[in-house]
Amino acid sequence: MKKLLQIFLFLSVIGSQVFVQSLARAEQSAAASPGRERLLMDFGWRFAFGHAYDTDKDFNHATGFFSYFAKAGYGDGPASANFDDRAWRILNLPHDWAIEVPFASNGSHSHGYKAVGRKFPETSVGWYRKSFSISKSDLGRRIGVEFDGVFRDSIVWVNGHYLGHEPSGYSGFRYDITDHLNYGGNNVIAVRVDATMEEGWFYEGAGIYRHVWLTKTAPLHVAPYGTFVSSDVKGNTANVTARATVINEGMTKAKFDIIQSIVDAGGKSVATRRVKKLSLKPGDNDEFSCVIKVKKPVLWSLESPYLYKLITEVRSAGTVVDSYQTTFGIRTVRFDPNEGFFLNGKHVKLKGTNNHQDHAGVGVAVPDALQEFRIARLKEMGSNAYRCSHNPPTPELLDACDRLGMLVIDENRLMGTTPELLDQLKRLILRDRNHPSVIIWSLGNEEWAFEGNITGERIAATMQAFAKRLDPTRRTTVAISGGWGQGISRVIDVMGYNYISHGSTDEQHAKFPNQPGIGTEETTTQGTRGIYFDDRPNAHMAPLHKKGSTGGDIEVGWKHYAARPYLAGLFYWTGFDYRGEANPFGWPQVSSQCGIIDLCGFPKDCFYYLKSCWTDETVLHVFPHWNWKGKEDQEFDVWAYSNCDEVELFLNDKSVGRKKMEKNSHLQWKVKYQPGTVLARGYKNGKEVATHSIETTGEPAAIQLTAHRAVIKADGEDVSVITVQVNDSKERCVATANNEIIFAIEGPGRIIGVGNGDPSSHEPDKYIESVSQVRIENLKMQTVDGTEDRPEVAFDFNDSNWQAFKQPSEYNKEAKGPAKVIVIRGVFNLQEFADDTKITLLTKSLAEGQAIYVNGHRIAQDIKRDAPGQKYTLDHAILRPGKNIYAVIGTQLAKKSQWENLNTDPGVIQVIVPIPTWKRSVFNGLAQVIVQSARQSGEVTLKASSPGLSSNVTRLQAQPTALRPAVPASQQ
């Protein structure tokens, strides 16, 4: 039972109480290095593909006579601490391997035709390993590893010890690894990720695509995601309830105080409370709360998203044993059944978009800074709300929404009330309930099996009550696509309408007058950016409104929601295009086209419709483009989105007509195409307030690069998003240009992805170093009578009558006489290799004092058994495409104990083909390059060139910054 101590305490002097506590020996060493550390564990992982069913290609994992489910600590294959991963690729997280593999026409439609999934067992299982050291002084602390999200079905081991299995591709999870660590030495974490099965019907990526953290605390500490801050604002005062769950993982009873301090955005402490004389038995945890008065609070709002911090200190025996930070905002939210949504008592219409998590170039491995870029782009359109469809988001997305002022529907993945599914919901709520941006929990989306029936009603009611227990301050919704009036819609707190084409919101409101409602999904004007006529072979589509389809018209949705005060607002499907759900065409289409903005964030025309409705800025936008060579005198529909009173259109200075603008609508004119300029003039109260023109441009002549930020942090994480535009000689964007552009980067930065928003582009988003492994096979051995000048190591020595290689099986303590000298030969086959291919031999000891030969050339000699290193770059001159011979001469190994398994693994050949030249075509004039800093300051230069176009350079300054504490990349 949780014991909620509602203690209204007077301000007390910190440190006035000292409790004497007897600590176990191990815990005393923790006290010597008190406090909490949270280390980013993103750098320097090793990665290789395993296999979904072929154990041989899955490094023989889980084939051991005693494997990890038989004996604790018996992780085998890459799960073993001793596994040799030297030949594996080195990479940093976040990582999405699905974005790196090619497109395949037989790939999954919903996942964007990437070569991942059931049909691609060789690219559907990925192994990650990371070595890290833990110092002796950490002994006695509680150490955990936290994964923010792995897609999906992951199993984790530390030092060969199985930690657990997480099926969800979206829920964060954590393992305590305290007891499994090697203190004062090296440790290895191994993760097997299986992306064979899909969770969603959209692109989901593959791999460890969110951050990983190593946390260290004292045994007495705030539980993971153990704080909960909520506020009650009355007049000029906020009563902030600060709850902290503290856990005692020590061996003795703990006595402690909790000091809760609120710090403003400038770092100034504004109020502090102390909850005194608390205690916890070993193994117990409890929630302790207090109410802190904040006078004249600065409220978190969309215009001014002000953030406070709560610092929770656990003080025991005169020492601060834990200090835990919680970012929060002081604000109130309310859904009203008749009047919609209120933030801080002020009515706000929710102008929202749904979004999946992927972005051009990077897939779902979105750097934190790119989250901010995406939210800022949505805000530019006047959007104030974001639905995390259909899964728990990455925490940094919510951080960006907190910082920039964006309201969030935070969504659970799968509805259900079993322990596993409720636990996913619990993890979501505990993790996210301090974010001021989160205004409501969505329990699920379009659960067709039960949304309109009694099962749905029961499941939703149970989940809703469960959510309320974890967070009584927020309401819940479910996005429902049918059966309105029945099932879930009868019990859900806030009705989530998915598409007004599915029923009548008015009827639901009349039937359930106390139930607020939001449009959780509504249709956009689907279409391809910059395309005005359907082009089926290329899977490009003109905006749906052009076909007069009401269902496909963005205006229908907004007009419906704008006209009904009882509806809190709506969320368009979608803000950004996303990979997968490649409708309506399917292959060669690989991305959706539902976005108001494309995969890169380039606006489609309908962006300006919403901007004209959703902002107070004067908006005037005319389209299509005006490059229609060969279509002279053909009639075009020219549209304008605007919030002016009237708009007049001119073709080459001749008026085509002045029209009155209806609110939340558009204007259109028939215009016969003639090259030149279409100019729109917008008027408010009879006065011209805006112009916008589209011009017939010349041929592509030059590249223009524009960085969204010219200064980035030199932390190996920050990014600048660079727009690539192809212009004519008069610096006008050529809206039909599709030139291929080549990129070169210099300085402390790297390109991490390219894109162009073309939903059917099959160009790579990423160019990566290719790291492959070649096995040394068919090992044979022969006893010889000396080690020097042996003919047996030569390439063409005839070994056809040699016996297969094996190590001695007997252990003979009394063995006398000289050990046998042996030659071992094996074969490895190389593909054709280019001059810049790096071929490295990574050996292991097959014999004592071994000498190593490749095709008869000596590479090394006198290698002590199991000596570290054993890494040799091979000169191309001694290698040949096809068959090569690896040979070893040395004395036969002897067992040191009866149980020793002598090594039979010769090692492996690593082949590295360097990163090819980065390139991407512009699509309708535009492309995007994402540049990430290194952990080193300096100038980063990106050059773009293309035959026939003048090239362009952009310079970024990577500035020194305080690095986030991180687990170092491994030394290997």
573 belongs to the binding site for ligand GAL (CB under 6 A): yes
What lies within 8 Å, CB to CB, of 568 at 6+ separation is 335, 340, 341, 349, 350, 494, 516, 517, 518
CB of 840 to ligand GAL, least distance (A): 46
Cα separation of 578 and 597, whole Å?
10
Query: CA–CA distance from 416 to each of 168, 421, 445, 455 (Å)?
Result: 14, 6, 12, 10
CB of 574 to ligand GAL, least distance (A): 8
Which tokens go with 189? 């974490």
- Given the complex with ligand GAL, which of 447 and 718 has the nearer CB atom? 447
CB of 581 to ligand GAL, least distance (A): 6
CB of 578 to ligand GAL, least distance (A): 10
Q: Which of 100, 457, 521, 522 is flagged as catalytic?
A: 521
CB of 499 to ligand GAL, least distance (A): 7
Query: CA–CA distance from 255 to each of 276, 284, 320, 438, 562 (Å)?
Result: 9, 12, 12, 35, 57
- Given the complex with ligand GAL, which of 316 and 505 has the nearer CB atom? 505
- Count Cβ atoms below 10 Å from residue 563 Cβ, excluding itself: 9
- Given the complex with ligand GAL, which of 480 and 940 has the nearer CB atom? 480
Q: Which residues of 692-709 are buried (b: 16+ CB within 10 A; e: fewer)?
A: bebbbbeebbbbebebbb
| Cβ-contact 332, 231 below 8 angstroms | yes
Binding-site string for ligand GAL from residue 712 to residue 751, where x marks contact by CB under 6 A and - marks none: ----------------------------------------
Annotate 4-57 with DSSP letters as a single string.
Answer: -EEE-PPP--TT---------HHHHHHHHS-S-EEEE--SSEEEEE--SS-TTT
- Given the complex with ligand GAL, which of 53 and 448 has the nearer CB atom? 448
- Given the complex with ligand GAL, which of 389 and 424 has the nearer CB atom? 389
- Count Cβ atoms below 10 Å from residue 128 Cβ, excluding itself: 25
Contacts to ligand GAL from residues 415-474, by CB under 6 A: 445-446
CB of 582 to ligand GAL, least distance (A): 11
CB of 584 to ligand GAL, least distance (A): 10
First to last CA, the chain: 49
Pairing state between β 494-498 and 517-523: parallel
Which tokens go with 952? 């362009």
Query: In the set 316, 357, 481, 727, which binds ligand GAL (CB under 6 A)?
Result: 481
- Count Cβ atoms below 10 Å from residue 382 Cβ, excluding itself: 17
- Given the complex with ligand GAL, which of 389 and 723 has the nearer CB atom? 389
- Given the complex with ligand GAL, which of 526 and 761 has the nearer CB atom? 526
CB of 199 to ligand GAL, least distance (A): 12
Binding-site string for ligand GAL from residue 201 to residue 220, where x marks contact by CB under 6 A and - marks none: x-------------------
| Cβ-contact 737, 925 below 8 angstroms | yes
Contacts to ligand GAL from residues 493-532, by CB under 6 A: 498, 521
| Cβ-contact 951, 25 below 8 angstroms | no
- Given the complex with ligand GAL, which of 59 and 484 has the nearer CB atom? 484
Cα separation of 444 and 503, whole Å?
19
Radius of gyration of the chain (CA): 32
157 belongs to the binding site for ligand GAL (CB under 6 A): no
What lies within 8 Å, CB to CB, of 307 at 6+ separation is 265, 300, 327, 328, 329, 402, 403, 436
**Residue with nearest beta carbon to ligand GAL:** 446
Which tokens go with 696? 């017939």
- Count Cβ atoms below 10 Å from residue 387 Cβ, excluding itself: 31
- Given the complex with ligand GAL, which of 374 and 390 has the nearer CB atom? 390
CB of 309 to ligand GAL, least distance (A): 36
Contacts to ligand GAL from residues 233-252, by CB under 6 A: none
CB of 445 to ligand GAL, least distance (A): 5
φ and ψ at residue 692, rounded to 5 degrees: -150, 135
| Cβ-contact 874, 841 below 8 angstroms | yes
199 belongs to the binding site for ligand GAL (CB under 6 A): no
- Given the complex with ligand GAL, which of 151 and 373 has the nearer CB atom? 151
Residue tagged 């389209």 (tokens)? 623
| Cβ-contact 891, 849 below 8 angstroms | yes
Cα separation of 526 and 759, whole Å?
12
CB of 497 to ligand GAL, least distance (A): 12
Q: Please name which of 27, 284, 69 lies closest in space to residue 178, comparing C-alpha atoms.
A: 27
- Given the complex with ligand GAL, which of 166 and 577 has the nearer CB atom? 577
What's the one-letter identity of residue 485? G
- Given the complex with ligand GAL, which of 123 and 526 has the nearer CB atom? 526
Cα separation of 916 and 919, whole Å?
9
CB of 850 to ligand GAL, least distance (A): 59
Q: Please name which of 570, 697, 699 lies closest in space to residue 625, comparing C-alpha atoms.
A: 697
| Cβ-contact 143, 215 below 8 angstroms | yes
Query: In the set 27, 100, 402, 581, which binds ligand GAL (CB under 6 A)?
Result: 581
Q: Please name which of 739, 356, 369, 805 lies closest in space to residue 574, comparing C-alpha atoms.
A: 356
Any catalytic annotation for residue 521?
A: yes
Query: CA–CA distance from 196 to each of 107, 117, 157 (Å)?
Result: 12, 4, 20
Q: Which of 27, 204, 396, 446 is flagged as catalytic?
A: 446
Q: How many residues make up the chain in this entry?
A: 972
- Given the complex with ligand GAL, which of 350 and 478 has the nearer CB atom? 478
CB of 423 to ligand GAL, least distance (A): 24
Cα separation of 938 and 957, whole Å?
6
Residue 776, classified by CB atoms within 10 Å of its CB into exposed (0-12), middle (13-18) or buried (19+), is: buried
Any catalytic annotation for residue 204?
A: no
Binding-site string for ligand GAL from residue 620 to residue 639, where x marks contact by CB under 6 A and - marks none: --------------------
Contacts to ligand GAL from residues 374-393, by CB under 6 A: 389-390
Contacts to ligand GAL from residues 74-113, by CB under 6 A: none
Q: How many residues bind ligand GAL (CB under 6 A)?
A: 11
Residue 490, classified by CB atoms within 10 Å of its CB into exposed (0-12), middle (13-18) or buried (19+), is: buried
Where in the sequence numbering do the catalytic residues fall? 446, 521
Question: In the complex, which residues of this chain contact ligand GAL (CB under 6 A)?
Answer: 201, 389-390, 445-446, 481, 498, 521, 573, 581, 594
